[in-house]
Chain A
Amino acid sequence: MSTNLALLVVSAVLVGAGVTLILERSLTRILVGFVLAGNGLNALFLVVSGPAGEAPILGLNDGTIADPLPQAMVLTAIVITLGTTAFGLALAYRSWQLTGTDDVQDDLEDDMIRRRALRDEVSSTYEEDANQLPDEDGYDEPAPAPFEDGDQ
């Protein structure tokens, strides 16, 4: 089967542009890139689904119809894009509300793990040997409360 060059180039450019934007930090750009790449991939579906044809509706055509299976898949993809993009927009708005920008920041927890690795420490949930006997009753003494200002 031969390839439709026009659709192929559209799909390549849209995906390329979309990926470029997805690698940004601004959530709006990421979302725009997401929609762009989604459109590009839908175009790729048209490329691989075969040549154009009549609408796949019985009784409305007499020639060869376009392949209906990829169409059903693309229809699903389009609608999903609506849901996920709207969700991403809500995320962007929330991020702006909290931080004044919609940029995605680096994860603080990950940074803390990295620092632990640099200091050759164990994880925060690792419990060293307790050096005391287990018992069904009683509890560990809680850690002493930190010194507070104003305490005399």
Chain B
Amino acid sequence: MIAFVLLHFIAATVAPALTPRFDRRVYALLALVPAITFIWLVPKVVATFDGENHLESIEWLPGLGLNLDFALNPLSGILALLVTSIGALVLLYCTWYFRPGDTEIWRFSAVLTAFAGSMLGLVLADNIYLLFVFWELTTILSYLLIGHNPERRANRLAAMNALLVTTFGGLAMFVGLIILHAQTGETTLSGIMASPPTGSTLATSAIMLVVVGAISKSALLPFHFWLPGAMAAPTPVSAYLHAAAMVKAGVYLIALLAPVFAETPGWRPLLVALGLGTMILGGLRALRQYDVKLLLAYGTVSQLGFLIAIVGLGTRSAAFAGLAMLCAHALFKSALFLIVGIIDRSVGTRDLRELSGLRSQRPTLFVATVAATASMAGIPPLFGFTAKEAVFAAFLDIGQDLGWNGWATVAVIGVSSGAVLTIAYSARFVWGIFGNKPGVDACRPREFSVLFKAVPVVLAFASIVAGFMGKQLTSAFAVYAEQFPGGAHEPSLSLWHGFTPALGLTAICLVLGIALFVWRRPVAGIQHILVDNLPFPDAERGYQATLRALDRLAIEVTGRTQRGSLPVYLGIVVLTVAAVPGSAMIRAWGVPDVYLGDNWLQLAAATVMIVAAILTVRSRRRLRAVLLVGVTGYGMAILFTAHGAPDLALTQVLIETFLLVTFVLVMRRLPPFFSDRPFNIARWVRVAIGTATGIVVAGFGIVATNARIFEPISKDWPGPAKSYGGGDNIVNVALVDIRAWDTIGELSVLVVAATGIASLIFLITDRSGIQKRPHRVVTPDSNAWLAANLHDHRRSLVFEIVARVIFHAVVLFSIYLMLSGHNSPGGGFAGGLIAGLALMIRYLAGGREELDNAAPIDAGLVLGLGLSVAAFSAIIPSFLGGDVLQSATIDIPIPLLGDLHLVTSVFFDIGVYLVVIGVALDVLRSLGSGIDEQIEAEEEAVNA
């Protein structure tokens, strides 16, 4: 079962790949998937009628009760047979419906197949959350199918309406399902049905929320308007989704819950009233349509109301009749839609005022149409007739079955009126397509393959055959109905029950319906007058007004709050930080317990840094601001040293140096002074916000330190650092072992930032095209120490010599630092930064050619290599039976030299080292070489 659902999605995935080869024949190929599923299902479903329900389950997230539970029972089995059989036939039909070479086939075929899989999953799912997932999948795929042609605004709107309305219902249903889960502790439908929540208000609301989901999906009042709009979809979609399958999901859900929940207060009156109301409204609207597809769409709305009313009634005979009617409707309605598709394709119009003379030219299609329509109208000897007889019988029994008195009569009158309208619009449909209209020229339909009409003919034929199979079908449908207590009469499907009240009702309806059709002009006139003059509430207009109001609200809120000013946004963020946690801080305030400092070094550095920070704010020259902030950075290094953090001090010094040079590389291009601003209020506001933030930060520091009562967690680190991490330097072991996940995230940030820098400078999105491949430059002047093409006056002999001489030593030292970092200060970060600084010296001494000579490799390659090395060294332990990022110690005996002590996390550190070098290289290439080139280009342009 699960495999077959999966097969649909696999087929959907490969469909686009098959399309170029098979073109529209891909549909026939895809039709095999539901067809095979159907064949597999038949014996299983027959077995369920003998009580052998087929269950499959795969644990997914058992902690949340979210498992892949599938169940085949008599109800879901019958639905699954409908979904797969009609799915296969519709896909087959698409083979001729679409024009050869249609460029959208790859997408449409994939989406339609995925839809068939989702629909199958929906009816087979036994887990409420799984049901919801498939439910929403059908919604989303339906959106894609309705919006198949987004060139028309009307189509886009129709798709959006369908999406919003059914998702709204879906979310309501989801909330209801969650409440049911919470109330019963069960997540399977069968479990909830076995121990339903008792009649609390909460349980009732939960059921009602689920009902909202069902009626929105099945397009009942007041959600009915999305379905006619959905006719924007290609006709096969209308036949499958919007007649046979998806809209039946709501009916299915009601039918599924009815055996237990029909007694919920409000269930019966709500569903019967909404159902019959929808039935009558849809029928009336259908009578006013000229587009035969829209006529069918409103007919479907009407029939869905009919189905919900009967299924929601919740008696044995009603459940039986509802299931029969559901099957009958699926057969005749899909046949009729497919016939409309053929007419549309061969004549080029669906307007019944233009269709004429088709009866003699398309006799087979005419017979099929008459058969399917007669089934829709409930005329013997068709399936629709036997099903509708059963419905009438069920409605006539409700006085006895449910003890309704006056309301029983109202319901019977309601359902009969609906039936009268159904007969009238059925007649209008046949007349509309095949009637010869006076004054209209006979259409000249295009010829199509005989097979094109085979599918609707088969479906129409099924409606006839099923009419004669009352006995067999009775035993199939009765299994589901037996969940309800027995009623006044035992239901059955038969062409002849004797002269029953139901038969009388059918006869009356037939006469009235034909009368409505014959006098269609006066009827239409009366409808017009009524609709135009009576203030009917219009659900669609209300919906549109709501959407518009939402949009306006969004504009007003955005317009008021989103001013587009960065300083304002940041100011609000900072003030919120100061105000909200700040007020919590004030509440926690106690007598501060402070001491001046740990040592004199700390105090001296602190004083210098404070002065430098204040001067930074005051400086108007860019370079001065940068240098002063550098002072605070080196000050930090001293503070780190004084605190007992040699690794931090080392890294801070290296970073500060690198950053300072980077700043200068960019600042050389920017104006030396900041843009002049008058000494105004805004400046004081900034200073005030800054001061407030500083004060709040100080407060946090005092409260946090004074509140500390527990020993730090890292108290226990030294032992494991050695025994598990295999290193003496606890901070570095933490980076590559204990907190290695954090480091992986950090490496990713670095790679992204470096790539961003290169993209901003070189402005080409395709990374491979950004830079010329770096290559060694051969200097013409063999006496030069470096490959520089610099002007002589910018060269410094001493600097060049020093750069060349120390470069290799520095790189070696960086590698040593990286490897020794496990036991002494150093590590991948420090090592990488030193190597980066070595490259920087080469660049500064000899320009970009020299940089290319020093590192004839693309920065992106180094970054990617580093990240891969780190990722691999993280993952590999999990393949060896350990945890991700677990490290191990290996001792490799080397003759004469003793054992080489190797901790595997050193590979992770190599990754870190490479990423940092990559960042350095990218920064130098972009902000150094890149800007150089731009300057040179500008100079050349000026000189030329």
Contacts and interface: CB of A to CB of B under 8 A. Distances in A.
B401 interface: no
B564 to A, nearest CB: 3
B629 interface: yes
Contacts of A54: 644
The interface centre, meaning the residue of B574, B602, B697, B712 with most chain A CB atoms within 10 A of its CB, is: B697
A123 B554 contact: yes
A140 B714 contact: no
Given A4-B598, A83-B750, A117 B734 contact: no
Contacts of A152: none
B687 interface: yes
B408 interface: no
B606 A15 contact: no
Contact of B712 (A67, A73, A135, A139): A67
Contact of B564 (A15, A20, A106, A140): A106
A117 to B, nearest CB: 3
Task: Name, among A75, A117, A127, the residue most crowded by chain B CB atoms within 10 Å (CB to CB).
Answer: A75
B922 to A, nearest CB: 8
Nearest to A37: B693
Interface string B196-237: 000000000000000000000000000000000101111100
Contact of A58 (B652, B698, B708, B718): B718
Contacts of A145: none
B689 A20 contact: yes
B642 to A, nearest CB: 6
Given A39-B632, A58-B730, A135 B152 contact: yes
Interface in A25-63: 25-26, 28-29, 32, 35-36, 39-44, 46-60
A71 B648 contact: yes
Contact of A90 (B291, B717, B926): B926
Contact of A32 (B158, B235, B629, B824): B629
Contact of B294 (A58, A91, A133): A133
Interface residues of B, number: 140
Contacts of B231: 134
B142 to A, nearest CB: 14
Given A83-B749, A136-B234, A111 B648 contact: no
B555 A122 contact: yes
B593 interface: yes
Contacts of A148: none
Contact of B610 (A9, A18, A19, A87): A9
Contacts of A132: 152-154
B661 to A, nearest CB: 11
Nearest to B703: A3
A36 B746 CA distance: 20
A82 B658 contact: yes
Interface hub of A25, A87, A106 (most chain B Cβ within 10 A)? A87
A103 B673 CA distance: 13
B562 interface: yes
Contacts, number: 401
Contacts of A49: 712
Interface in B610-626: 610, 613-614, 616-617, 622, 625-626
The A contact surface, by secondary structure, is helix
A138 interface: yes
Interface stretch (B316-324, B721-729, B888-896): B721-729
B690 A123 contact: no
A150 to B, nearest CB: 31
A17 B155 contact: no
B714 A67 contact: yes
B567 A71 contact: no
B425 to A, nearest CB: 18
B731 interface: yes
Contacts of B639: 7, 10, 43, 46
Contacts of B825: 55, 57
Interface in B544-563: 544, 547-548, 551-552, 554-556, 558-560, 562-563
Given A3-B593, A12-B694, A82 B655 contact: yes
Interface stretch (B581-589, B751-759, B784-792, B849-857): B751-759
A12 B698 contact: yes
Interface string A87-110: 101111110100001111011111
B6 interface: no
B168 interface: no
Contacts of A91: 760
B919 A127 contact: no
A94 B761 contact: yes
Given A75-B735, A106-B565, 9 more contacts: A13-B614, A20-B689, A53-B643, A57-B823, A58-B718, A92-B670, A123-B554, A134-B154, A135-B149
18 contacts: A3-B702, A7-B597, A7-B606, A7-B639, A16-B690, A29-B674, A35-B633, A42-B636, A49-B712, A50-B708, A53-B644, A79-B651, A82-B658, A86-B923, A96-B670, A106-B563, A122-B555, A132-B152
Interface of A: 1-26, 28-29, 32, 35-36, 39-44, 46-60, 65-69, 71-76, 78-87, 89-94, 96, 101-104, 106-111, 113-118, 120-123, 126-130, 132-140
